[in-house]
Each structure stands twice: as structure tokens, then as C-alpha cells.
Amino acid sequence: MGVVLGGKRCQSCGMPLAKDKAGGGTEADGSRSARYCSYCYDAGRFRKPELTAREMQETVRQVMRRKGMPRLVAEYWAWRIPRLKRWRGR
């Protein structure tokens, strides 16, 4: 059982793009981003460019716990953050 972290999840926070009510972030030209959600990306830029992977991990933990996800699930997705495209090589 593997988890796909490709284009179907935001490559910044890991949220399934299908769950983004706005339909995804936007590129500079106004088109939809195929990689990033609207919470992370707008008009071709990250909403919080200074954010670190560790800070994103903490944000993911908090959001998932507020939504009622089990702690183990929240920890797993937070652990995956550094493997997403935005954070690789940082």
C-alpha cells in the first residue's frame, strides 16, 4: 500500500487538490496550478514564501487535528511534507 504524492496532492502542504474548494492555486497568468492548492499558492507565488518545511509540518498537524483526524494520521502527513516538490533540496 503506497501513497501517491504526485500531481494529485498540493506539492506544498500535501492536501488532495480535489478537496480545494477554489479548484487549486493560480499561476501568474491566472490559469489553475496543477501542483499547488489555493491555500499555498496564488498568482504564481507562494502565499507564505518565508515558511519553512518544519513550519508547514506544524500547520498540517494543527489543521488535521482541528478537522478531527487521528493524531497518527496527522503525524504521517506532516512527516511526508519534506518529500513534496516545494521542500525537496531545501
2 pLDDT exceeds 70?
no
- Is residue 34 one of the residues assigned to a domain? yes
- Is residue 12 one of the residues assigned to a domain? no
- Is residue 88 one of the residues assigned to a domain? no
To the nearest 10 degrees (0 to 180), the angle between helices 53-66 and 71-80 is 150
59 pLDDT exceeds 90?
yes
- Is residue 62 one of the residues assigned to a domain? yes
- Is residue 10 one of the residues assigned to a domain? no
Residue 62 CA to residue 43 CA, distance in Å, equals 26
- Is residue 50 one of the residues assigned to a domain? yes
Question: How many domains, the chain?
Answer: 1
90 pLDDT exceeds 90?
no
Distances 54 to 15, 23, 24, 43, 88 between C-alpha atoms, Å? 16, 26, 23, 24, 13
- Is residue 1 one of the residues assigned to a domain? no
Range of the domain at 39: 17-83
Backbone angles phi, psi at 88, to 5 degrees: -60, 135
Of all residues in the chain, what percent carry a pLDDT higher than 70? 92
- Is residue 55 one of the residues assigned to a domain? yes
